[in-house]
Copies of this chain bind each other. A is one copy, B any other.
Amino acid sequence: MTIAINTQIHRVSPQTPINLHTSLTTPPTDFEHSKKALKEQFKTESKALTHLQELMYAQSKHAVLIVFQAMDAGGKDSTIRHIMTPINPQGCRVLNFKAPSAYERERDYLWRIHQHVPPKGCFTVFNRSHYEDVVTVSVNDFAPKHIWQKRYNHINAFEQLLTDEGTHILKFFLHISKDYQKHRLQRRLDRPDKHWKFDPSDLVARNHWDDYMQAYAQAFNTCSVNTDAPWYVIPAENREYRNLAIIQIINQKLQSLDMQYPAPQYDASQYKIN
């Protein structure tokens, strides 16, 4: 049996502004599949992705940029590990954008981002991204409003540049509730092997939960105008649902490109390897 998640219900439409307080953090109630069935389907999708990535690499025509954003403990690292691990790292890079360094702050905020866009044939995954430069910056007043407000236009224009020039963009927000975050952060404090993942500053962001939800919603609504760079708000408290939804969105995108291995520039029958 094939399980196909209706991923379109998670896609942000610029016509229907999203409200993160009412967006799902768990699978839709009518979605009834066992954990085991979801994992089986994920394995199938994972094999398909491995093949599609090789095809993309061989053809070297398309590039794919995948953006992950989430509140702390939202599952970015886990998602990236599950989805991207089977992919040949020669065709995939993961970038982790932490707070900008002094050197980076000497240039515009998209400078460090633009450097790492994927070359043709490859995937790049952003673990956090330029969206921090509107969301985190606005919530924490790291820059005045007249500065960060212009950034929505910059970001839309930057993503339009990339898609016009052959890069496909998929953006995922891993959505969890504040209660669920409490549970996951507590786990990091309780387990010594998870201590390294805790940072007391996570609690500062937690105290601004509603502000973050509002800032993220504004970013998603404003930066979903480019249909080749959609935002998806993925219910992320159920890991199997989360992983399957995301890999199905990626695979559907890649399948829609109708990729072919490039025709050889030589006549294979004319060569004999001694």
Binding site for B on A (CB under 8 A): 60, 103, 106-111, 114-115, 117-121, 147, 150, 153-154, 157-158, 160-162, 164-167
Work out how many copies of this chain go into the complex.
2
**A203: min CB distance to chain B, Å:** 31
Decide: A167 near B108, CB < 8 A? Known: A115-B115, A153-B157, A160-B154: yes
- Tell me whether A162 and B114 are in contact (CB under 8 A): no
| Chain B residues positioned under 8 Å from A117 (CB to CB) | 107-108, 111
| Chain B residues positioned under 8 Å from A103 (CB to CB) | 119
In the assembly, what is the distance between CA of A42 and CA of B195, in Å? 64
Decide: A109 near B165, CB < 8 A? Known: A154-B157, A157-B158: yes
- Tell me whether A154 and B164 are in contact (CB under 8 A): yes
A104 and chain B: residue at smallest CB distance = B119
In the assembly, what is the distance between CA of A5 and CA of B235, in Å? 64
Interface centre among A117, A160, A161 (most CB of B within 10 A): A161
13 contacts between A and B (CB under 8 A): A103-B119, A106-B119, A107-B120, A108-B164, A108-B166, A109-B165, A111-B115, A114-B114, A115-B115, A150-B164, A153-B157, A157-B158, A158-B161
| Chain B residues positioned under 8 Å from A110 (CB to CB) | 114, 161
In the assembly, what is the distance between CA of A230 and CA of B165, in Å? 26
Decide: A161 near B108, CB < 8 A? Known: A114-B114, A115-B115: yes
A154 and chain B: residue at smallest CB distance = B161
In the assembly, what is the distance between CA of A231 and CA of B108, in Å? 22
**A190: min CB distance to chain B, Å:** 43
- Tell me whether A120 and B106 are in contact (CB under 8 A): yes
| Chain B residues positioned under 8 Å from A114 (CB to CB) | 110-111, 114-115
- Tell me whether B108 and A162 are in contact (CB under 8 A): yes
